[in-house]
Amino acid sequence: MTVDCYNDEEQLGSLLVGAEDALEIGEVARVVGTPIRVIGVTEGPDVRRGLIAVCERDSRRFEVSLVDVVFEPESNLGRVAAAYRRWLGYSS
């Protein structure tokens, strides 16, 4: 996803496009072991804030770093999230 990108902003933008393409609205995932529904992925105000998952649980909406969301193994968005973690330098 980041092959032809020249800086961090372009790479983050490319990862965001990949996440948006892979998102299945309402996909079930987990945050700290709690089931949530992912309804969107957005970019923070700068590269440091990174990619943010927009989530719902019990009719309440909240935002959490995409790094902190755990997806099912077959999830396309989970694969993008794994690539994002590697890009950030996280080990697994």
CA distances from 79 to 19, 46, 70, 84, 92 (A): 9, 23, 11, 9, 12
Provide the pLDDT for residue 4: 82
- Continuous H helices in the chain: 8-22, 76-88
Provide the pLDDT for residue 92: 57
Contact (CB, 8 A) for 3 and 15: no
pTM: 0.88
pLDDT at 3 over 80: no
Number of Cα atoms under 13 Å in the Cβ half of residue 36: 23
Tens digit of each residue's pLDDT (9 = 90 or more) over 24-67: 999 999 999 999 999 999 998 877 889 999 999 999 999 999 99
